[in-house]
Amino acid sequence: MYPFIKDGDVITIAPWPAKAPGIGQVVLFLHEQAKRLFVHRVTRRGQGYCVTQGDGVDLDDGRISTTGIIGYVTHVERNGKSIRLGLGPERTILAFLARAGLLSPFAFRAWCCLRPFLT
């Protein structure tokens, strides 16, 4: 989820409600094939499933059953400071950019330079 969530950040997870996840929501889920927990952004959704993708990668995770979603990220803390960027209203735009493959590491370099001025 770099650069919005970095190694060493402390994330707060809330239990997942019964409703379907929204586009752009950052969720914690158990990936059935990998047998690992992931925190990724929802980029698409359908009946009983969603498609998730990390912000720093070009490939999605495939269809994830909504029953495998454990919770969603409500708060990110870095070095004792609250980080909101990536969890607010901009999350929908970020989901579409990730889905289109436009959130590559090169695009993130420019975003990271601007981010200190936006938080």
- Distance of alpha carbon 44 from alpha carbon 55, whole angstroms: 14
Which tokens in the block code for residue 51? 């498609």
Correct CATH for 10-114 of 3.30.70, 3.40.1000, 2.10.109, 1.20.5:
2.10.109
Give the CB-side neighbour count of residue 96, counting CA atoms within 13 A: 4
Copy the structure tokens of residue 63.
Answer: 């269809």
Asked if residues 13 and 28 have their Cβ atoms less than 8 Å apart, the reply is yes
Question: Domain segments of the chain: what residues?
Answer: 10-114
pTM of the predicted structure, to 2 decimals:
0.76
pLDDT tens profile 16-32: 887 778 898 999 998 88
Q: Which of 82, 87, 81, 84 is nearest to 27 (CA)?
A: 87
- For residue range 44-90, list pLDDT tens digits in order: 999 989 999 988 788 899 999 888 899 999 999 999 988 776 777 77
Compute the radius of gyration of the chain from its Cα atoms: 14
Residues 6+ apart with CB under 8 A from 59: 53
Tell me the pLDDT tens digit for each residue of 89-111. Answer: 777 777 777 777 766 654 566 65
